[in-house]
Structure 1
């Protein structure tokens, strides 16, 4: 008898063992309800087949796999198992009408309870699931007591004490098998869920490490990780570029060898102090002629609360320092320009008085002396022109612009340019494109721009030279070209061509091209210069059309 009970226990616990072996990968999560349903169905049939008959009472544990398969498999699996259980039971008790009626009544009560418990069970915690399993055990215990009591009342059992013992053992085995099944199935599910979570965490960790590695490598910083023993554990691309070493020659070696390649002993002393427990150290050093802001700071282990190593970072501040110097220079020049503009404005008044009296003296002087007065007047006019150019350059004013045609401006300027060219024995070639449309221009300033560029070109040429002026209509801008056939400009002077007071002419003031640049910038345009020594120079001015963002 007891070996049959042991066989029932093994068969009832068969789903647990097979589930623990089969359910070992997250990919099988979707097939879990179907697998548990199939295994529990097989276990249920085997328990029915090897049922024990003790004094007219049938003892078997088929309800254990039936309940477990239904709760974990869901409503579809529960429906199949219920139908299978009912069919087999009806076949077993077909000879007794009373048993059939009792079975149907039992199912009419049990099935709604079972189906109503499935969804809450699947969303509950493990402790809550065990409580639900205990409720089913209590329900089945009540059913068994009713069945045993009926047999007792009928007097069909010959050994009532033995039967009561078997009922007690069966009830205990049923409860333990049901609770163990719930516990171990849920344990298997939790194990796979932990695998999924571990995989997700591992993937996130690898992604974060990869992103951090990419950030460290592409960041414009020199990054060197040093462990607590003073060995380099990691360097980024910029550090390798500066040291001109292979990673295998750096990683695992002493940091002193690596950092001395950057800046001698200064950086080494900073890292030494941090390794010995000092606070983060920041310094500004020179590495290969460039300015770097360096920081050496400790890296702490979160859990152990001890220093893991040192992080050395160097930020290239060369361009930032250069820009700062340029801003300081511009501020000083702006201040000087404002002062000079104020002074030159005051100079014009006495110069006008001087010119008036010189002109008066010229009219009253003998003819032999008039040439001297004419020279004085010419020099005064030249000084006044320099003052005017300087004031135009210093006054960074907002100009009023209106929709105008660049071609109309050029046609208005051509008689003056032609006259200037004829006096020099030169010619002018004007090549205008088709109608370029209207641009936002200040006509007075554009005339000054064209005249300055044209006269610069004519002054750069000898006699018989040709000055080329042309326009080109593009999709988003209009180009103005002024080309000469002069001696050209050396490459080393091109970069400084638009600086105030820089000139390549013997009698130049160095303000003409600076004024041209100022006019073009006020029109939100661009000016470029191309030159070849011995062939000539071309100035290219670009005007952006209305409604376009050219730059």
Structure 2
């Protein structure tokens, strides 16, 4: 026989693992049944010597032998691999033990003859028809040997203390042998038929259970993987299922929602009559955030007959609303772009003529600088320049270009931006700007567009600090994101007044401005350029209202 480690028993075929478990129960049943039968028979047969029982030493020796064989078998069963052969040996051992018990308790007059049926039935359950018929043959042969030994006059001496009449002729041997032998085979056939039917039933039940588990797992996987939130409620309006998408949409965990009233937990879904169309509404998440959702519901036709159970499906519309807004914005910008070209043409030609004429007049009036006419000429030239700058910004915003990215030195670009600003006629020369960018730090993008970002942010910061003593700082560094991507983080900080919290996002909207002379396009152009570089921009107030910081994050290859 081949032996295996206990851990390796998991590699046995499923049928052998099942047979191994059944053999453990067989060993336990052997000890319990034989011990109880001997004990009860001894108690019942003490008075009047009703049953032939062996002397106490014989009985103790037999029980000890049963215990020893069982313990040894259990130890071998832990290591053996040929489980079927071992099962045959165990059932044959039971036949031998029963034969010994029958022989020493009266042979043909033993009350334990019925125990021969147990090995036959056990073989039918464990070893099927072949094993059952084989054990029926072995039981018949063993019982015949016991009867022949009795017929030959070989039986224990203590039998004479009981009312024992030995078999003395062949006819008696045949009478005692025929009926038990026939019943052994009938029992073998019946037990094999019953065990076969039981085995087929168990196989069908196991297959049904596996199919059910597979379908249940598939159903759960489908519910968890779909992006649509699915909630079912019972007739009392209490939630009894809550899929993963519903958890993500609402912010509530399934364990928090099970058994809770839908109307109390999600009032945004509980109302409304059933219609053929999808309903929309606002849903309050666990964190208090309100989000737009689309939802619908229908009644569940359950076998219980309850007509008030419902299934709700819902979807977060935040992303769709955002995409709709982006489409509307793109359509609006396309219209604005078409209009801007015509408007710019119509404005720029008269402005150029007005500005040129004003400049000629200003030169002619240079001899009298204090005159009111020269002052008016200066106003005309300045306002023409401002209008031209506004038109240029409008065109840039309405017709953005795709960035031509490359590596460049960020510190040098920042220095160039300051030089350009210092040469502008409307630049406040008293506005201090400190560059805290490492000399060797390189950025990746289109230099002209990054330059526009810096100029707009510095100009915006300088304007915010008008009338206050403060400073603007440009800082930049490389950072790695939590998912392992490299980015360039550029910060423009000013020590001017803080921005109202509700305006921190609004300031990037086109045409939004808090200044009478502002166009509302500077920060909108900045965000547009940043987004075309696949980056992000955020505005935040410094602690204690000490200023405002604009943070631009650009991805690096």
SS at match of 1:403: strand
In 2: Cα distance, 1:249 partner to 1:411 partner: 63
Q: Which residue of 2 aligns with 1:499?
A: 509
Shift of 1:205: 7.2
Are 1:484 and 1:538, in contact at CA under 8 Å, matched by a contact in 2?
Answer: yes
In 2: Cα distance, 1:483 partner to 1:33 partner: 88
In structure 2, do the counterparts of structure 1 residues 193 and 417 end up closer, same or farther at CA, with 3 Å as the change threshold? farther
SS at match of 1:388: helix
Q: Note the 1:206-355 alignment, pairs <5 A.
A: 220-226=229-235, 235=240, 267=273, 284=279, 293-301=295-303, 307-316=305-314, 319-320=316-317, 323-355=319-351
Q: Which residue of 1 aligns with 2:413?
A: 409
In structure 2, do the counterparts of structure 1 residues 293 and 77 end up closer, same or farther at CA, with 3 Å as the change threshold? closer
Moved more, 452-461 or 181-190: 181-190
SS at match of 1:314: strand
Are 2:238 and 2:260, in contact at CA under 8 Å, matched by a contact in 1?
Answer: no
With the length of structure 2 as denominator, give the TM-score of the two structures. 0.58
Are 1:223 and 1:313, in contact at CA under 8 Å, matched by a contact in 2?
Answer: yes
In structure 2, do the counterparts of structure 1 residues 468 and 383 end up closer, same or farther at CA, with 3 Å as the change threshold? same
Q: Which of 41, 49, 55 pairs up with 2:96?
A: 41
Shift of 1:538: 1.0
State whether structure 2 residue 434 is matched by structure 1 residue 429. yes
Q: Which of 527, 543, 546 pairs up with 2:554?
A: 543
In structure 2, do the counterparts of structure 1 residues 494 and 35 end up closer, same or farther at CA, with 3 Å as the change threshold? same
Shift of 1:288: 7.6
Shift of 1:415: 2.6
In 2: Cα distance, 1:261 partner to 1:68 partner: 65
In structure 2, do the counterparts of structure 1 residues 369 and 425 end up closer, same or farther at CA, with 3 Å as the change threshold? same
State whether structure 2 residue 495 is matched by structure 1 residue 485. yes
In 2: Cα distance, 1:261 partner to 1:456 partner: 45
In structure 2, do the counterparts of structure 1 residues 363 and 405 end up closer, same or farther at CA, with 3 Å as the change threshold? closer
In 2: Cα distance, 1:375 partner to 1:451 partner: 24
Q: Which residue of 2 aligns with 1:178?
A: 185
In 1: Cα distance, 2:257 partner to 2:414 partner: 62
Q: Note the 1:87-98 alignment, pairs <5 A.
A: none
Are 1:40 and 1:68, in contact at CA under 8 Å, matched by a contact in 2?
Answer: no
Q: Note the 1:346-365 alignment, pairs <5 A.
A: 346-365=342-361
In structure 2, do the counterparts of structure 1 residues 246 and 328 end up closer, same or farther at CA, with 3 Å as the change threshold? closer
In structure 2, do the counterparts of structure 1 residues 73 and 461 end up closer, same or farther at CA, with 3 Å as the change threshold? closer
Offset from partner CA, 1:426-467 (integer Å, 9 cap, x none): 32222123633x432101011111111111111111354321
SS at match of 1:299: coil
Shift of 1:335: 1.9
Aligned residues: 422
Shift of 1:292: 5.7
In structure 2, do the counterparts of structure 1 residues 404 and 381 end up closer, same or farther at CA, with 3 Å as the change threshold? same
With the length of structure 1 as denominator, give the TM-score of the two structures. 0.59
State whether structure 2 residue 481 is matched by structure 1 residue 473. no
Offset from partner CA, 1:294-323 (integer Å, 9 cap, x none): 32323242xxxx844343233455x41x54
Are 2:299 and 2:309, in contact at CA under 8 Å, matched by a contact in 1?
Answer: yes
In structure 2, do the counterparts of structure 1 residues 78 and 456 end up closer, same or farther at CA, with 3 Å as the change threshold? same
Shift of 1:503: 1.2
Shift of 1:398: 1.7
In structure 2, do the counterparts of structure 1 residues 64 and 484 end up closer, same or farther at CA, with 3 Å as the change threshold? closer
Moved more, 206-215 or 387-396: 206-215
SS at match of 1:424: coil
Please report the RMSD computed on the Cα atoms of aligned residues, expressed in angstroms. 5.7
Shift of 1:197: 8.2
Offset from partner CA, 1:35-56 (integer Å, 9 cap, x none): 533322223456778777xxxx
